[in-house]
C-alpha cells in the first residue's frame, strides 16, 4: 500500500516517526505552517521556521524515501495581531519559490475575530496574486461551524478564486456539506480525541461520496497519530472497501489536488 | 458495504465501551466536589439527540456543541476552545 500524508507537522515529530511513515507506505507528505504551541516573539522566529520547513525537513524526510512539501503562512492563532501578522507575511514571498513550497496554508480562523479574518483575506489575495493553491484550517470544537461559515462567506467575495484549488481542512459532519456544496475540496483530520475518527471519516465517505475529499493525520506536538491515515485504510478494508477505493482516498485524491502545484509530482526526485 | 450484523460484530463492543465511559464520567462528576460549568450543561443537553430517530445524529450533536453566535469581535480574549458553546448562548440548535 502506498499513500500520501497531505497534512503533517513533522517539525514536532521524531525521526522515528519518519521511519514509521515510510514502513507504512508513505511516499510524500505535506507540512502546512502552523502554531508551535506557543506564540513566537518576533518575525525572525518565523523566518527560522520557514527555513526549517523548506530546507531541513525535506532532507530529513528524504533519508526515509519520503518527499516533503510545505505550505507557508502565519497561522490564524498568531494572526489576531494584524501588525505582527503583516510583518511575518512580508517575509513569506522570499520562500515561495522554494522547490518544495506548494502554496499558502494553513490559513483560516481560530476564534473567529475581525483581525483573523482580515489576515485570512490578505493571505487569500497573496495566493491569488501568485496563482497558488490554498490550504485552510477551520477552527476547533465549538468555533468550527461559525468559523467555517465565515470562511466560506469570505471566499465567496473573491470572484477570481478557483474553488478547485482550495482545500478546507478539518471538516466534520456539521461542516462537510457546506464545504463540498460550495465547490471546494474538504479534508478530514483523524485525531484520537477531537476532529474525526477513522470510522466517522468513512461514514462521511459513504454519505458524501469519494470526490474532492482526503484524509490526514495532522500529527503535531499534541495528542495525534502519525499513522492515522494507514489505520483509516485498514478500517476501510474492514468495512469492505476494495483496494481501488482505498487507493483513491489515500493516494489518488491527494495526488490530484496537490498536482495543481507544478512543484508536486509523485515521482519528483528526492532532495 | 457491511451488513448491520457485520457492523455490530465489528463495532458493538467499542460503542458499549464508549457509552459506559460516558456514564462513568457523569457519575464521577456527581461524586466530586465543586461546581460544574457550561461544558457539562452542553453535554447533558446533547445526549438525548443520540436517541432521536434521524439519520444525522453526529451532525446534530456537533451543532448542539457549537457556538451559535453571529457576532464578530475585533480580537479574541483567549486562544483556546472549551468544546461547548459559550455560557451566554442558548444550547438548543437552530433546527431543533
**Residue A209 class from Cβ within 10 Å (0-12 exposed, 13-18 middle, 19+ buried)?**
exposed
Give the span between the Cα atoms of A30 and A71, in whole angstroms: 7
Q: Is the pLDDT of residue B91 over 50?
A: no
Question: Residues 210 to 249 of A: which have CB under 8 A from any B CB?
Answer: 238-240
Query: What is the mean pLDDT of the segment spanning A193-205?
Result: 95
- DSSP strand pairing (A26-32 vs A185-189): unpaired
Binning pLDDT at 50, 70 and 90, where does residue A234 land? Answer: very high
| Sign (positive or negative) of CA dihedral A142, B86, A224, A237 | negative
Report the C-alpha gap between A109 and A142 in whole angstroms. Answer: 13
Q: Which of B60, B50, B46, B93 is nearest to A172 (CA)?
A: B60
Residue from the list A115, A117, A172 with its beta carbon closest to the beta carbon of B62: A172
Q: Is A193 on the interface with B (CB under 8 A)?
A: no
Nearest to A194 by CA among A165, A220, A224: A224
The sheet carrying A185-189 orders its strands as A3-5, A26-32, A67-72, A101-108, A134-137, A166-169, A185-189, A213-216
Average pLDDT, chain A: 96
- What is the pLDDT at residue B88? 61
ipTM of the complex: 0.94
* Residue A30 three-state SS: strand
Dist CA A150 CA A49 (whole Å): 29
Burial (0-12, 13-18, 19+ Cβ within 10 Å), B30: exposed
Q: State how far the Cα of A134 lies from the Cα of A6, in Å rounded to an integer.
A: 13
Contact A183, A213 (CB under 8 A): no
Model confidence at B90, pLDDT cuts 50, 70, 90, reads very low
Give the per-residue pLDDT at A265: 73
Q: Chain A: residue nearest B73 by CA? A: A113
Give the residue among B96, B34, B12 at the shortest CA–CA distance from B62: B96
Residue among A110, A142, A238 whose CB faces B67 most closely: A142
Interface test with B, best of A142, A171, A203, A235 (most B CBs within 10 A): A142
- What are the phi and psi torsion angles at A186 (to 5°)? -130, 140
Mean local confidence (pLDDT), A11-29: 97
> What residue of B is the nearest CA neighbor of A196?
B58
Of the listed ranges A205-214, B11-20, B33-42, B77-86, the least confidently predicted one is B77-86
Q: Is A176 helix (H, G, I), strand (E, B) or coil?
A: helix
Q: Is the pLDDT of residue A39 over 90?
A: yes
Interface touch A111/B78, C-beta < 8 Å? yes
* pLDDT, tens digit (0-9, with 9 covering 90-100), for A50-60: 999 999 999 99
SS3 string of B77-92? Answer: CCCCCCCCCCCCCCCC
Any long-range contacts for B20-28 (C-beta under 8 Å, 24+ apart)? B22/B47
Closest CA to A70 of A108, A103, A27, A117: A103
Residue of A77, A110, A142 lying closest to B84 (CB–CB):
A142
A51 touches chain B (CB under 8 A): no
Three-class SS of residue A179?
helix
Q: Stretch A106-124: mean pLDDT, rounded? A: 97
Tens digit of each residue's pLDDT (9 = 90 or more) over B42-89 = 999 999 999 999 999 999 999 999 999 999 999 998 889 999 998 765
What is the reported pLDDT for B86? 80
Burial class (CB in 10 A: 0-12, 13-18, 19+), A83: exposed
pLDDT at residue A271 greater than cutoff 60: no
For chain B, list residues whose CB is within 8 angstroms of any CB belonging to chain A. Answer: 1-2, 7, 10-11, 56, 58-59, 62-63, 65-70, 72-76, 78-86
Question: How many Å apart are CA A119 and CA A108, to the nearest integer?
Answer: 9
Judge whether A35 and A217 are in contact, CB under 8 Å. Answer: no
- CATH no. of A3-258: 3.20.20.140
Would you give the end-to-end CA distance of chain B in angstroms?
Answer: 31
Band of pLDDT at residue A266, cut at 50, 70 and 90: low
Q: How many CB atoms lie under 10 A from the CB of residue B3?
A: 9
Angle at A17 between CA A61 and CA A172, to 5 degrees: 100
The predicted structure's pLDDT at residue A188: 98
pLDDT of residue A268: 60
Rounded to an integer, the average pLDDT of A2-8 is 97
Task: Looking at the complex, report in whole angstroms how far the Cα of residue B49 sits from the nearest Cα belonging to chain A.
Answer: 14
List pLDDT tens digits, range A147-174: 999 999 999 999 999 999 999 999 999 9
pLDDT at B94 over 50: no
Residues 6+ apart with CB under 8 A from A112: A139, A143, A146, A147, A150, B67, B72, B73, B76
Is A110 within 8 Å of chain B by CB? yes
Give me the pLDDT at residue A269, please: 55
Chain B residue whose CA is closest to A39: B79
- Three-point CA angle A204, A210, A211, nearest 5°: 120
- Which residues are registered as beta bridge partners of A190? A196
Amino acid at each position: 500500500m502506498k499513500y500520501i500524508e497531505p497534512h503533517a507537522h513533522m517539525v514536532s515529530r521524531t525521526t522515528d516517526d519518519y521511519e514509521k511513515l515510510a514502513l507504512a507506505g508513505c511516499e510524500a507528505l505535506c507540512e502546512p505552517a502552523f502554531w508551535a504551541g506557543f506564540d513566537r516573539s518576533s518575525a525572525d522566529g518565523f523566518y527560522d521556521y520557514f527555513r526549517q520547513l523548506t530546507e531541513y525537513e525535506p532532507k530529513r524526510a528524504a533519508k526515509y524515501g519520503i518527499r516533503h512539501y510545505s505550505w507557508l503562512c502565519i497561522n490564524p492563532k498568531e494572526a489576531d495581531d494584524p501588525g505582527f501578522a503583516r510583518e511575518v507575511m512580508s517575509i513569506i514571498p522570499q520562500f515561495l519559490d522554494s522547490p518544495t513550497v506548494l502554496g499558502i496554508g494553513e490559513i483560516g480562523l481560530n476564534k473567529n475575530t475581525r483581525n483573523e479574518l482580515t489576515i485570512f483575506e490578505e493571505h487569500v489575495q497573496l495566493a491569488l496574486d501568485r496563482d497558488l493553491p490554498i490550504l485552510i484550517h477551520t477552527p476547533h470544537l465549538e468555533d468550527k461551524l461559525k468559523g467555517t461559515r465565515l470562511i466560506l462567506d469570505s471566499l465567496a467575495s473573491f470572484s477570481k478564486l478557483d474553488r478547485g484549488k482550495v482545500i478546507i481542512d478539518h471538516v466534520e459532519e456539521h461542516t462537510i456539506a457546506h464545504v463540498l456544496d460550495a465547490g471546494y475540496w474538504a479534508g478530514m483530520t483523524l485525531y484520537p480525541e477531537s476532529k474525526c475518527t477513522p470510522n466517522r471519516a468513512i461514514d462521511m465517505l459513504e454519505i458524501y461520496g469519494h470526490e474532492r475529499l482526503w484524509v490526514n493525520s495532522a500529527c503535531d506536538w499534541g495528542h495525534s497519530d502519525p499513522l492515522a491515515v494507514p489505520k483509516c485504510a485498514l478500517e476501510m478494508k474492514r468495512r469492505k472497501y476494495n483496494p481501488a477505493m482505498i487507493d483513491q482516498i489515500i493516494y489518488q485524491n491527494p495526488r490530484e489536488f496537490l498536482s495543481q502545484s507544478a512543484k508536486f509530482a509523485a515521482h519528483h526526485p528526492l532532495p | 458495504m457491511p451488513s448491520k450484523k457485520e457492523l455490530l460484530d465489528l463495532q458493538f463492543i467499542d460503542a458499549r465501551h464508549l457509552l459506559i465511559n460516558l456514564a462513568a464520567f457523569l457519575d464521577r462528576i456527581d461524586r466530586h466536589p465543586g461546581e460544574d460549568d457550561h461544558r457539562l450543561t452542553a453535554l447533558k443537553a446533547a445526549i438525548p439527540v443520540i436517541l432521536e430517530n434521524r439519520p444525522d445524529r453526529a451532525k446534530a450533536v456537533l451543532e448542539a456543541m457549537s457556538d451559535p453566535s453571529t457576532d464578530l469581535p475585533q480580537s479574541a480574549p483567549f486562544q483556546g476552545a472549551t468544546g461547548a458553546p459559550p455560557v451566554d448562548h442558548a444550547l438548543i440548535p437552530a433546527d431543533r
